Structure 1
Amino acid sequence: MSFIPRIYLDPHEFEALASNKDYAIPASTAHYLGTVLRLKASEKVVFFNERDGEWECEISYIAKNKGTIQTTKQLRLSITPLGPTLVFAPLKRDATDLAIRMATELGVKTIQPVKTLRTNTVKIKEERFRSITIEAAEQSNRLTIPEIKPIVSLFDFCSSWPKDKTLWIAVERCAEYHIEPNSTEKCRGDDGILIGPEGGFDSSEIKNLLLYDFVRPLSLGNLILKAETAIVAGLSLFSQHVRA
């Protein structure tokens, strides 16, 4: 088959991969490969994680809920997770799921939900978020999975943010607040980007955010974007300048 599936192996639950060794795979992975994808013995699968890198493997045995694989060659070495922190106010379920997926595909290292005055929901299902990030990483060819942080209040988060890193905040209608937006040309790969809730930040939140020396306002253009669109636009702009 021309399509070779990529599967994430949790390094906390699976032993380290090494060359030409046999491994029993988790029951859920065996079910997916054998029942859903209908793969058979001798077919190829790629397994990866941030600890072991990426490995091409061959299925030795596959059944309904169990299977074994043998590593054949390492495709990529392990890496230290890099990337920005996405700070955002959770949205309605489908919009939040989309935001998590897009953020993973765009290379964020950490996802930090925060409560603002206009946050729609404070219910965070971290396991669901993790499943979405794993699926997005498998699809997008990245080796690492973003860390999902527990939800905290906006200003509790700001109090703990490292003062030597910039936190870029997307501000709608900068002119109304007499704000001159900054250029992301000076951004660093480990900075943070803060996207507000549906309806935007409350004016009091913007004023208080700008009191922090590490905060830099950022404009995403003249149009008013939906929150999930703003996340994609902000991260795309951010990564464009980091790569440059």
Structure 2
Amino acid sequence: MSFVPRIYLNPDQCEGIQEQKIYQVSEDIAHYLGNVLRLTAKDPVVLFNERDGEWQCVIEKIGKGKGSLCAQHQLRLPIVPFGPTLVFAPLKRDATDLAVRMATELGVHTIQPVKTAYTNTHRIKEERLQSIVVEAAEQSNRLTIPKIKPILSLFDFCEKWPKDKTLWVAVERCYEKQIPLAKDHRFRGDDGILIGPEGGFDKIEIKNLLLYDFVQPLSLGNLILKAETAVVAGLARFSQYVKA
């Protein structure tokens, strides 16, 4: 078997992964392993989380919506996650899902939805986004799961942002001054990047954003990008710093 599935084990739901210990999996995971992947007893599976690292396991039992795994040995040690914060205005459902998935694959530490003047929707289904980041983490070989924060108004968020970290804001479509391209900036791995809604920022929002000392305007290039594309273009600038 060349493909070995990776399964995220929520550290809040277990005491810790140890050699030769048996772990029960949820009905959904049992269905995925047994019915979708057609795995059977003794087939390999990898368990991981930010607290315990990554572990080689084998299926102990599987069937009828139930399953258990036996941990064998540790593959990777746990890490202290380090990466940027994505601050974005929620988009239409599919676009939001895509942005969150790609942000997870690019190693974000935190995902913070914000409400702006032109935000498409003010509703966020945190449970749905949580399932998306878990699946994306399993597929992208990362050990950690991004934190998903409750939605805030843009300026409530700004008041809470750490003053010693830069918040890069993609504003070239509604900012009068010339901005250097992103490659000309110096990024810190735990900075934040703010991507606006499909309609862009309101002029008053830009004016008020630039009053904060920690805010820096950012250009992602000369082309007009969809919001979810801008998320990828912006986060790619942090990829060399990510530890996830």
TM range (shorter): over 0.9
Residues 181, 220 of structure 2: 8 Å contact kept: no
Report the aligned-residue RMSD. 1.5
Moved more, 61-70 or 122-131: 61-70
- Counterpart of 1:192, as a letter, is G
| Structure 2 residues without counterparts, runs of 5 or longer | none
Residues 169, 217 of structure 1: 8 Å contact kept: yes
Normalised to the residue count of structure 2, the TM-score between the two structures is: 0.94
Deviation at 1:183, TM superposition (A): 4.8
* SS, match of residue 29 in structure 1: helix
After superposition, the C-alpha distances for 1:98-134 in whole angstroms (9 at most, x for unaligned) are 0000000000000000000000000100000000001
| Matches of 2:136 and 2:208, distance apart in 1 | 35
| Matches of 1:60 and 1:239, distance apart in 2 | 38
* SS, match of residue 121 in structure 1: coil
Q: Any residues of structure 2 matched to 1:1-244 within 5 Å, and which?
A: 1-173=1-173, 176-181=175-180, 183=182, 185-240=185-240, 242=241
- The structure whose RCO (Cα within 8 Å, separation 6+) is larger is 2
| Matches of 2:178 and 2:59, distance apart in 1 | 58
Moved more, 179-188 or 227-236: 179-188
Deviation at 1:182, TM superposition (A): 6.9
Sequence identity (%): 70
* SS, match of residue 12 in structure 1: helix
Normalised to the residue count of structure 1, the TM-score between the two structures is: 0.94
* SS, match of residue 172 in structure 2: coil
Query: After TM superposition, which residue ranges in structure 1, 4 or more long, deviate above 6 angstroms?
Result: none
- Counterpart of 1:232, as a letter, is V
After superposition, the C-alpha distances for 1:80-107 in whole angstroms (9 at most, x for unaligned) are 1211000000000010000000000000
| Matches of 1:201 and 1:181, distance apart in 2 | 19
| Structure 1 residues without counterparts, runs of 5 or longer | none
Deviation at 1:29, TM superposition (A): 1.8
| Matches of 1:178 and 1:23, distance apart in 2 | 57
After superposition, the C-alpha distances for 1:142-178 in whole angstroms (9 at most, x for unaligned) are 011100000000000001100000000011236x512
Residues 55, 72 of structure 1: 8 Å contact kept: yes
- Counterpart of 1:177, as a letter, is E
- Counterpart of 1:129, as a letter, is L
Residues 173, 200 of structure 2: 8 Å contact kept: no
Deviation at 1:179, TM superposition (A): 4.6
| Matches of 1:108 and 1:211, distance apart in 2 | 26
- Counterpart of 1:59, as a letter, is I
| Matches of 1:173 and 1:31, distance apart in 2 | 47
Residues 115, 152 of structure 1: 8 Å contact kept: yes
